[in-house]
Structure 1
Amino acid sequence: MTAFSQALGLVLDPQVILAMLASGAFGLFVGAIPGLTATMATALLVPITFFMGPIPAIASIVTAAAMAIFAGDIPGALLRIPGTPASAAYVDDAHRMTRSGRAPEALGALLVFSVIGGIFGTVVLILASPILAEIALKFSSFEYFWLVVLGLSAAIFVSPGSVTRGLIALTIGLVAACVGMDNPSAEPRFTFGNIDLLGGISFIPAMIGLFAAAEVFRYIVHGGSAVAPQHPETRGLFRTQIGVMRRYPKQAIRGSILGTVIGALPGAGADIAAWISYAMSKRLSRTPEKFGHGHVEGLVEAGASNNAAVSGAWIPALVFGIPGDSITAIVIGVLYIKGMNPGPTIFINQAEMINALFIVFLLANLLMIPLGWLAIRASSWLLAVPQKILMPIILMFCIVGSFAITNSVFGIALMLGFGVLGFLMEENDIPIAPAILGLVLGPLLEQHFITSMIKSDGNLLAFFERPIAAGLGIFTILVWASPLIRKLVLRRKEAVS
């Protein structure tokens, strides 16, 4: 109790609270700008943390990262520009809700369930860090291969149309992921002599092009309503969530658990967690036909999973010094600089510092409610802007975000090219989300497959020899076979009747 009292005193220092407020506002600003990610917000804060004490420094990074992850959902809902690959999993539902005048419900769900997922992940971080970290250490390339394959299988379930069109979109993403030299042989692949393609296709400009630029092109061609102008309304932001919570408590809990577990796996992160959670939500839903057409159920589960994964990523980082994602990779460096060396002994030798970190996590997630409400209120005025003014603004954000990631004009050309591709895909009823999934997970699939094949000397049965890998492999195969199994069961029932 003494360590906890000391930790509480450290966190309630005015300097720490001020640092959290300032970094929270900064994280919201960076996260809400298309192309600027939570990782970038964290990296930009690192030089400033050199002039802070250990607790204000860590508090700043934790708060900024949590806010930036949520803020990526705001342009997704309002403008159909997902701020992160995780946001792309449910951007169609969020944006359709906005177009039908339900922006407060969509944004409220994303905010409230992000907070719930973040707090759940923090509680697990406090209570079960050593246990989950020990499980995470047992994951090798074989387990990660099946986890990535399971994530790619989500393309079948997140597609609002037919399975065939979903697979076409996934193939487009996987082919795009093959471009460049980031392959086992380090040979240029699908570059066609273009030097700019040697580094591969950056998924942020591609994602901005597929979603946002395609929306602008659709407006230019059809002159339709990309965003339904309406008076900004945030008064019902939290009130509507009481009913949502009553309808979908299982989804919130399921998303939080899955997000925390996947987040605790080094290298998995919030992206895989959100996609798998959204796919699971649709698979287990009583109304799967509503997904992709403005249904809040998927937002509940994937939104909770998204932020739970952020907290879960800290488990291997604190217990073993192994980064769970790109954000914790940066944070580990800051911890060492501040004298908080990650590892099992930190829980004994610096108990008050660890307890302070846990309190900061809880406060950062609670702080997301008022700051998130202010961000939504400020950004929702975009809905009242006439489309002839809004579309050029969206295109400007697309250009700035794409240039910021690649620091070259090629990033802008890439974004525009994928914008045309996205427009053509949607004109032919081919969903975009699976393409993003393929682009994000394609390199990981190849990396873990080749590593596993080298380890096993080409023996494919090695993918089933380890217990966890075998379990994940069998589960993935059952997911693939589930439509066929369902058809056989229905035929047998019809034959009996």
Structure 2
Amino acid sequence: MQALLEGFRLVGSQDVMIALLLASIYGLVVGCMPGLSATMATALLVPFTFYMSPLAAIATIVAASTMAIFSGDIPGALLRIPGTPASAAYADEAYAMTRKGEAALALGAGVWFSAIGGIAGTISLVVMAPLLAEVALSFSTFEYFWLAVLGLMCATLVARSSPIKAIASMLLGLLVACIGIENPGGVPRFTFGITDLLGGIEVVPALVGVFAVSEVMRAMVSPTPPPIPKRRIGSILAGQLQLTRIYFWQMMRGNVIGIIIGVLPGAGADMAAWVSYAMSKRFSSEPEKFGTGHVEGLVEAGASNNASLASGWVPALLFGIPGDTITAIAIGVLYMKGLNPGPTLFTEKASSMYAIYIMFVLANIIMIPLGILMIRAAGYVLRAPRSAIMPFIMLCCAVGAFATGNNLFAVVTVGLFGVLGYVMERNGYPVAAMVLGVVMGTMVEQSFVTSLIKSDGSILPFFERPVSAILASMTFGALLWPLVMWIYQRRQKPVAA
């Protein structure tokens, strides 16, 4: 109880509340811009967190990501151009409702059920994380190794592209993590005589480049979106309580799916939205209405994507394994501020953990009034010329990268990874899998080498310990699953006469 009261006191401090409010407004604006993802919004905030207190820094990440995931629904409904990848799952449905004159209902469902989903995800974080922390205290480097590898394998399984391309992206990320002398042997690797590479590739410039600069490059070669038409938007929340009663079980199913997918390393809100929308259509009593402007899919997918956002912090806080690309950035901020992820975080800094829970709840509550204001102001935001926005984003990327280490090499890193991210996306290689490889590569290697030192070079303890054996079998299952499915599909094909 004392820790909970201390958590409220920490969140109630002036700097945290101001950070929460400003980051919420920022997240709403960036998420509303077509093509600017929630991950990009979060990455651009990292340089500003250097000058904040630890909890104020976390508050900016929580609020900006929460708001951006919802705000992507606005251009999706009004222009059929999703603001974030998560919104793409049901952009056609929302736009069909707008064409029927139900823009207010579609956008109202977006803000209402996103807030409910976010609170449901926070409850899962509160319930699951402390229970799993008790189990995690018994983990050794053997279990951490398999857990990290399993997370990487899950990231490749849930990728929307080819599993082979996802595995290739993940291996590229692991290769990037090998650069420098920060390895168990202290031996320079892949430095090519360049002194700036001795310290390895900084995670934050790499993330900013992959997500922000590559988006700017895509915007340069893609056509300008059509101007937003002037539409009358009535009462935003009218009828939402009735929708909650009608589609209560769909909403609950979306929450559960979002929570489960959020906990899987590498999945995130994008995957949760797509899976939930597909589930909604599959089990609907009116599947023929989907695609014609039916609100049922919006209810389930909207609840799911924000639920996954909060539950994605479970593996991030417990094991330092990112649940998605946003928590990959958050882990970097946590380490930078001395809140090292791990099971001991829940015992040694319990008040800070309660403060993070409270931030999530507050962010989802203030999403409703701020979201309504954003919907009404959307016309002005969406009319901002792309030629004015993109140079400003590039400037933020360069300044932010320079601020991470006060050297120009970080700016070069941002540019190189921006080009790499653009080329990968153009050829169907998922960037998220590469990012997870970069973030988790050090953990995989250090756990593996430390375990071999403990076992005097024997690999048997990796399979003899009960929990380690279970995690190893799950990892190999995830690795072999694409091959099994390929063989099954080949056998199912009819033999040509």
User: Is the CA contact (8 Å cut-off) linking 1:206 and 1:418 kept in structure 2?
Assistant: yes
Does residue 35 (structure 1) correspond to residue 43 (structure 2)? The answer is yes
Equivalent residue of 1:182, what SS?
Answer: coil
- Cα offset for 1:190? 0.9
Match for 1:24 among 20, 27, 46? 20
Does residue 70 (structure 1) correspond to residue 66 (structure 2)? The answer is yes
Aligned position for 2:103 = none
Residues matched between the structures, number: 432
TM-score between both structures, scaled by the size of structure 2: 0.66
**CA separation in 2, counterparts of 1:421 and 1:354?**
37
**CA separation in 1, counterparts of 2:358 and 2:395?**
36
User: Is the CA contact (8 Å cut-off) linking 1:173 and 1:437 kept in structure 2?
Assistant: yes
Change (3 A) 1:115 1:397: farther
Change (3 A) 1:452 1:42: same
**CA separation in 2, counterparts of 1:211 and 1:61?**
20
Aligned position for 1:445 = 444
**CA separation in 1, counterparts of 2:373 and 2:49?**
16
Aligned position for 1:462 = 461
Equivalent residue of 2:53, what SS?
Answer: helix
**CA separation in 2, counterparts of 1:171 and 1:362?**
33
- Cα offset for 1:492? 7.1
Matches within 5 A, 1:176-187: 176-187=176-187
**CA separation in 1, counterparts of 2:471 and 2:276?**
19
Segments of 5+ residues of structure 1 without an aligned counterpart are 47-57, 80-89, 263-271, 318-323, 335-340, 348-352
Aligned position for 2:124 = 120
More moved, 106-115 vs 233-242: 233-242
Aligned position for 1:192 = 192
Letter in 2 for 1:433: A
Deviations 1:398-437 (A, max 9, x none): 2233223333222211111112222222333333222212
Match for 2:228 among 223, 227, 230? 230
- Cα offset for 1:442? 1.5
Letter in 2 for 1:200: G
Change (3 A) 1:284 1:345: closer
Deviations 1:445-497 (A, max 9, x none): 112111111122222221122221111111121222223434555677789xx
Aligned position for 1:482 = 481
Aligned position for 1:427 = 426
Letter in 1 for 2:134: E
User: Is the CA contact (8 Å cut-off) linking 1:97 and 1:106 kept in structure 2?
Assistant: no
Change (3 A) 1:70 1:429: same
Letter in 2 for 1:22: I
User: Is the CA contact (8 Å cut-off) linking 1:211 and 1:419 kept in structure 2?
Assistant: yes
Equivalent residue of 2:474, what SS?
Answer: helix
Aligned position for 1:304 = 307
**CA separation in 1, counterparts of 2:426 and 2:490?**
36
Change (3 A) 1:161 1:400: same
Change (3 A) 1:355 1:429: closer
Segments of 5+ residues of structure 2 without an aligned counterpart are 31-40, 76-82, 96-105, 283-296, 321-329
Alpha-carbon RMSD across the aligned residues, in angstroms, is: 5.2
Aligned position for 1:369 = 367
Matches within 5 A, 1:129-144: 129=130, 131-144=131-144
User: Is the CA contact (8 Å cut-off) linking 1:157 and 1:283 kept in structure 2?
Assistant: no
User: Is the CA contact (8 Å cut-off) linking 2:209 and 2:421 kept in structure 1?
Assistant: yes
User: Is the CA contact (8 Å cut-off) linking 1:213 and 1:419 kept in structure 2?
Assistant: yes
**Percent identity between the two aligned chains:** 27
Equivalent residue of 1:184, what SS?
Answer: coil
**CA separation in 2, counterparts of 1:181 and 1:395?**
30
TM-score between both structures, scaled by the size of structure 1: 0.66
Aligned position for 1:416 = 415
Deviations 1:30-49 (A, max 9, x none): 87755355797497125xxx
**CA separation in 2, counterparts of 1:134 and 1:251?**
28
More moved, 135-144 vs 245-254: 245-254
**CA separation in 1, counterparts of 2:218 and 2:353?**
51
Change (3 A) 1:236 1:257: farther
Matches within 5 A, 1:234-313: 246-247=249-250, 249-256=252-259, 273=265, 275=267, 301=304, 303-310=306-313
- Cα offset for 1:29? 6.6
Change (3 A) 1:111 1:148: farther
- Cα offset for 1:235? 7.4
**CA separation in 2, counterparts of 1:43 and 1:359?**
23
